[in-house]
Structure 1
Amino acid sequence: MTTYIPSITLPAMVFQNPAASILLPIALGTAVGFSVQPKETQKTYMALKQPPYRPPPQVFGPAWTVLYGLMGYAAYRAHSTGMNPLSSANQLVLFKQGATLYSVQLGLNLLWMPLFFVAKRPIEATVDIVALTATTGYLTYIWGQVDPVAGWALVPYLGWLGFATYLSAGVGYLNGWNIADKEVDASPAGKGTKYVDEKE
């Protein structure tokens, strides 16, 4: 059973304001994405042996924007219902517990890309995303009891995390858990860059 821990929980104003709730994870995710230099990230991604069903690099940006938005909407919905005077005491408790979980999972989420692409530590990155997926799964369960819409809004995110965990672990395993100094040059304009393990 989780506990509400104010010191590691986002401020209440983030949850109660729909714009802040939705835009905060989008802004933080975008900031982290740009801070790790997208071009260099793509070069590394293309140079790694990949498991089946890997998506092209350009899919991640739009997908994460939508998922961050849904995540923020879930937080707003959970707050609106959980803090409503007409809600039960149990809903209030579950919302607050979920608020701590939400804050923790957001931190774990933002940590993955620097771990994988900057520090190039696939083992630690995979441990991070496993913990993230587990935390989000429990958050979905808790907030689903507070507000069903909040729970369902987290389902696409949870599903994507399951897929991302497969990719992270698959890439780590196929590359011997060592991705240091792996990089390919970008293709000339108009030509598609191939993954290192694709045939010419």
Structure 2
Amino acid sequence: MAGIYIPNILLAIPRNPVTAVGLPLVVGFLSGSPPASKVANSHWYHDLNAPPGKPPREIFPYVWTLLYLSMGYASHVAVKAFDEAALLPHTRDDLNLGIALYYAQLGLNCVWSPIFFGTRNTGLALVDSVLLTATTCYMTKLLDRPTSGKATYFLLPYCGWLAYATYLNGGVWWFNGPGRKYHKRDDPKM
């Protein structure tokens, strides 16, 4: 683990709490805006068979906004702990890897909507969701001790929501034909 290097820019962004919460908000908005318009203008999403427990789609923007704020602030807490001078080497290694995984999960989060809604590939989106959930849970574990549980407080709702979102994605994939990719020619509006 000692070989993980975090570029200074990736540490500088979360040092400021405003940019720490701003980054995931901007990334989430940019990755979610085009798919949101596709959902509104297509029968595809509305005609999908969903698993039990699917919430109304109107709550997703509110939930994701809160989760982006929370994960962003957790990154701030992690970098504050990283900046402490008296860290033990294994603690610094955990923080290094945890911060690297923060950016990895942010990337996985960013590509989920374009995969699911843009390409309508529910199977590939499910793979992304599983990787995102596993990465985030491991990141949360790594950041727990070095931040005295503070990062965990902000990340646990995100971990829970990701597990739920993975269940929903898996159900959509399963109930709509595993491996089936929706094609535009199937859309009656086209």
Same fold (TM over 0.5): yes
Aligned in 2, Cα 1:97/1:118: closer, same or farther, shift over 3 Å?
same
Return the offset for 1:41.
Answer: 1.6
User: 1:41 maps to which residue?
Assistant: 39
Q: Aligned-pair distance for 1:95?
A: 1.2
- Per-residue deviation, residues 5-34 of structure 1 (Å, max 9, x unmatched): 437x96211121111111100111011111
Write the distance in 1 (CA, Å) between the matches of 2:10 and 2:136.
19
Shift of the 57–121 alpha-carbon distance from structure 1 to 2, 3 Å rule, reads: same
- Residues 45-104 of structure 1: per-residue CA shift (max 9 Å, x gap): 221001001011111101000001100000000111121124433332211111111111
Instruction: Give the equivalent residue in structure 2 for 1:194.
Output: none
In 2, Cα distance between equivalents of 1:78 and 1:108? 20
Are 1:46 and 1:184, in contact at CA under 8 Å, matched by a contact in 2? no
Return the structure number with greater helix share.
Answer: 2
Quote the residue 1:16 is aligned against: 15
Structure 2 CA distance for aligned equivalents of residues 58 and 2 of structure 1: 44
C-alpha distance in structure 2 between counterparts of 1:107 and 1:78, whole Å = 18
Whole-angstrom distance in 2 between the partners of 1:63 and 1:3: 36
- For residues 70-85 of structure 1, the aligned pairs below 5 Å read 70-85=70-85
Residue aligning to 1:120: 120
Alpha carbons of 1:128 and 1:2: their partners in 2 closer, same or farther (altered >3 Å)?
farther
Match of 1:168 in 2: 169
SS in 2 for 1:11: helix
Partners in 2 of 1:92 and 1:184 — Cα distance? 55
Runs of 4 or more, structure 1, over 6 Å off, are none
Number of matched pairs? 183
Instruction: Report the alpha carbon displacement of residue 3 of structure 1 after superposing the two structures with TM.
Output: 5.8
Whether the 8 Å contact between 1:47 and 1:184 is mirrored in structure 2 is no
Paired residue for 1:151? Answer: 152
The TM-score with structure 2 as length reference comes to 0.88
In structure 2, what is the Cα distance between the partners aligned to 1:106 and 1:94?
18
Q: Output the amino acid matched with 1:39.
A: S
The one-letter amino acid of 1:132's match is L
Distance 1:61 1:32 in 2: 12
Q: Hey, what's the Cα distance between the residues in 1 that align with 2:45 and 2:3?
A: 38
Amino acid at match of 2:33: F
Q: Residue 84 of structure 2: SS of its match in structure 1?
A: coil
RMSD across aligned positions (CA): 2.1
**Mean Cα deviation higher: 67-76 or 9-18:** 9-18
Aligned to 2:145, the other structure's residue is in SS state helix
Identity of aligned residues (%): 33
